[in-house]
Amino acid sequence: MFVSWLEADTRTRRIALGDAAIAAGSMAAELALIVAVSVLTGMVWHELAYRDAGDIASYASVGAITGLLYTLPFLFRSQYRIDALTSGPRATAHILNVWTYAFFCLGALAFLTKTTGVASRGWLAMFFVIGGASVIAGSKLIEAAVAVLVAKGIAAPRRVLVVGNRDEVARFSRENSVTNAGIKVVATSLLPETIGSGETGESVVEKLIGEAVQRSRSLNVSDVVILSECGQTHAGLANIANKFLDLPVGVHLAKLPLTE
């Protein structure tokens, strides 16, 4: 048998939070944080400057608009997905760039709607500085929380089927785990190291990939990774990829880096 399967961990919950739930929760958490910082800084600034709390509803409105301007770029780039959050792609510089972009858009929106006089420049400066530090800290806390949820089986990482020869599949499975890549290898399709030419060799691969497609359905696989070192030509790799196109999965060709 050239096909073996890594069954899903039986200790994993039958129903776990997926990408949609984690994305919604993470985005809502960042929105709430930004609104809270907006209200807090607005109240503090107005108290220091005018000895009263000011218009809290106005602070909340500005915070909500800023929060949407900040979170939407991450949402559109799929950076609220479990694998994105657990692999930590949002560097501090990137977070600050998006935060600055959000304030730039906020200023442009205020200019176009002729509401530039509504907010104090002192408050906005305080909101920008404290808000920037808050979204950086909040992002790290969200990433840590999602990692814990994945480790406990409460959140489901990307469920991956890997196609390739035995050594390359073993290496991929070893180097790409829930803890460092936000993925879970739930199945593998092991192809022969050498495949004979002609119809016999092709029929072996066809059979193995057919079994892989069926198992992908039953295991609810979200992504298929086809290793380019599995002894297949470019046409052969394309043919394997085509077999999975009818499934609601992402199909990826991957080339592992050379070992030392």
CA dist 257 and 152 (Å) reads 31
Q: Report the pLDDT averaged over residues 123-139.
A: 94
- Exposed / middle / buried, residue 188 (Cβ in 10 Å: 0-12, 13-18, 19+): buried
> Per-residue pLDDT for 5 more than 70?
no
State the burial class of residue 105 (Cβ atoms within 10 Å of its Cβ: 0-12, 13-18, 19+): middle
Residue range 17-76, pLDDT digits in tens: 677 888 899 999 999 999 999 999 999 998 988 888 888 999 999 999 999 999 999 999
To the question of pTM greater than 0.85 for the whole model, the response is: no
Q: What is the pLDDT of residue 131?
A: 96
Which residue's structure tokens are 């814990």?
Answer: 148
Query: Which H or E run includes 161?
Result: strand 158-164
Is the pLDDT at 199 greater than 50? The verdict is no
Highest-pLDDT range among 114-123, 139-148, 203-212: 139-148
If we measure between CA atoms, which residue out of 129, 234, 136, 203 comes closest to residue 255? 234
The pLDDT-based confidence of 1 (bands split at 50, 70, 90) is: very low
What is the arithmetic mean of pLDDT over 167-183? 69
pLDDT greater at residue 44 or residue 157:
44
- Cα–Cα distance between 112 and 82 in angstroms, integer? 37
